[in-house]
């Protein structure tokens, strides 16, 4: 056992980084793989959650951001720029702060969860509110990225996927082999591509005996892979995956085909049900987009498509604290108010 040093130090031999290169890290990675008996029971296999909300800024983006920003540092620095549904911008803003670089984030107006917006603000990024959706934002920042003083840190930056593939390494290192099935939400499709790369690399090195079947899950109103073509006006309560024209299209299709997997969609209601179930019966608070992976798994199980005895890992990509408004919905927070005495509290909680 040793103190976790961040994914670059931990997995340097598998990453495009040389000894002596600058490393911009916040200690990302090393996230919990939590067994979820409440899900195993329902699914008929053994289900684990890879809890990526435990990363420094509360999402899996930090794994990619440490690689991308370290590479910018090696080149002497630049203004970090991204389009984002919220988590990439939170991560970029934090790593920019650590690196001492400026950061600007382009955000679809009115569609970013409050916690994520707060993160970009407190870390000192410049916010640009776009009259358009994520897909519009990505088109715009890709155009800006031709400037030499700008570094694009969206997942079209290949270093992002390199960093993110380490989550697959961690799963194998913890379980001792690849799972039967790996289930995760799909938005811009970088993460499913990154996991597939990580699993293939570990299998090629003999560190895993197999690669998993990859199951991607989209939100019904933002499901271009299910439709087979881009969606013009994506809509879902899971704003993190409100994306209609995924950049890593070909890589994600390759992950699906080569793994014998599938990419399905679930409704917003299924997402919210899964979020509540994970919170109440597993003890992990995830954001709506993250719950899509579990919602998709539960739906597949109901259709009898989970092989008996399978080991299933669901990545829960982001922390529930980022978007408390959606989790609470129309819940009124109105606890009973009591005087500061033990009997009064005992009565309030129904103890005799």
Task: Give the interface with ligand F0G as residue ranges (CB under 6 A).
Answer: 59, 61, 84-88, 155, 185-191, 240-241, 287, 289-290, 317-318
Nearer to ligand F0G by C-beta: 46 or 245? Answer: 245
Structure tokens at 153: 């840190």
Residue 191 marked in a binding site = yes
Helices (H), 17-104: 37-43, 61-74, 87-99
Q: In what order do the strands lie in the sheet with 126-130?
A: 126-130, 103-108, 79-83, 150-152
Residue-wise DSSP of 175-215: HSS--SEEEEE-SSSHHHHHHHHHHHHHHHTTSSS--PEEE
Nearer to ligand F0G, 211 or 317 (CB): 317
Q: CA-CA distance, 241 to 185, in Å (whole number)?
A: 8
Q: Give the residue with the Cβ less far from ligand F0G, 86 or 179.
A: 86
Answer yes or no: is 188 a known binding residue.
yes
Which of residues 46 and 314 has its CB atom nearest to ligand F0G in the complex? 314
Closest contact distance (angstroms) between CB of 19 and ligand F0G is 29
Phi and psi at 105, nearest 5°, equal -125, 135
Is 76 assigned to a binding site?
A: no
296 labelled as ligand-binding? no
In angstroms, what is the minimal distance from the CB of 84 to ligand F0G? 3
Which residue's CB is nearer to ligand F0G, number 241 or number 253? 241
190 labeled binding residue: yes
For residue 119, which phi and psi values (nearest 5 degrees)? -60, -50
253 in Cβ contact with 246 (< 8 Å): no
Residue closer to ligand F0G (CB basis): 183 or 240: 240
CB of 191 to ligand F0G, least distance (A): 3
Kindly report the number of other CB atoms within 10 A of residue 335's CB atom. Answer: 6
Tell me how far apart the alpha carbons of residues 85 and 322 are, in angstroms, rounded to a whole number: 12
Distance CA 289, CA 195 (A): 17
- Residue 54 CB, shortest distance to ligand F0G, in Å, is 13
Q: Cβ 85 to ligand F0G, closest distance in Å?
A: 4
233 is in an annotated binding site: no
CB 103 within 8 A of CB 124: yes
CA distance 171 to 187: 21
Whole-number Å distance between alpha carbons of 126 and 59: 20
Beta bridge partners of 313: 48, 182
- How many CB atoms are located within 10 Å of the residue 103 CB? 25
The separation between CA 7 and the C-alpha centre of its own chain, rounded to angstroms, equals: 16
Q: Smallest distance, Å, CB 116 to ligand F0G?
A: 8
**Residue 125 C-beta: closest distance to ligand F0G, Å:** 13
Nearer to ligand F0G among residue 74 and residue 254 (C-beta): 254
State yes or no: 317 annotated in a binding site.
yes
Compute the CA torsion angle 164, 127, 108, 290 (nearest 10 deg).
30
| Binding site feature residues | 87, 187-191, 317
| Binding site feature residues for pyridoxal 5'-phosphate | 87, 187-191, 317
């Amino acid at each position: 056992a040793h103190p976790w040093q961040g994914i670059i130090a931990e997995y340097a031999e598998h990453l495009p980084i040389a000894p002596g290169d600058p490393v911009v890290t916040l200690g990302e990675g090393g996230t919990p793989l939590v067994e979820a008996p409440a899900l195993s029971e329902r699914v008929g296999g053994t289900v684990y959650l890879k809890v990526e909300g435990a990363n420094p800024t509360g999402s899996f983006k930090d794994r990619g951001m440490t690689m991308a920003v370290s590479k910018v540092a090696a080149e002497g620095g630049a203004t970090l720029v991204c389009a984002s549904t919220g988590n990439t911008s939170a991560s970029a803003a934090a790593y920019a702060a650590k690196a001492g670089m400026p950061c600007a984030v382009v955000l679809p107006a009115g569609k970013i969860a409050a916690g994520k917006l707060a993160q970009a603000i407190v870390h000192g990024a410049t916010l640009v509110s776009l009259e358009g959706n994520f897909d519009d934002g990505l088109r715009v920042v890709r155009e800006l990225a031709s400037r030499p003083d700008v570094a694009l840190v969206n997942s079209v930056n290949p270093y992002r996927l390199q960093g993110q593939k380490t989550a697959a390494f961690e799963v194998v290192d913890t379980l001792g082999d690849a799972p039967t099935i790996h289930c995760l939400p799909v938005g811009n499709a970088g993460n499913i591509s990154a996991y597939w790369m990580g699993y293939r690399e570990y299998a090629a090195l003999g560190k895993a005996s197999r690669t998993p079947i990859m199951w991607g899950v989209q939100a019904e109103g933002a499901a271009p892979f299910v439709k087979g073509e881009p969606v013009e006006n994506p809509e879902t309560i899971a704003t993190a995956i409100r994306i209609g024209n995924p950049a890593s299209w070909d890589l994600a299709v390759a992950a699906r085909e080569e793994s014998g997997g599938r990419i399905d969609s679930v409704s917003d209601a299924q997402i919210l049900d899964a979020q509540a179930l994970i919170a109440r019966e597993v003890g992990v608070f995830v954001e709506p987009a993250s719950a899509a992976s579990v919602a998709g798994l539960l739906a597949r199980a109901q259709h009898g498509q989970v092989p008996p005895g399978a080991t299933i890992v669901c990545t829960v990509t982001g922390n529930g604290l980022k978007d408390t408004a959606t989790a609470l919905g129309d819940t009124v927070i109105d606890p009973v108010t009591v005087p500061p005495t033990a009997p009064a509290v005992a009565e309030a909680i129904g103890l005799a």
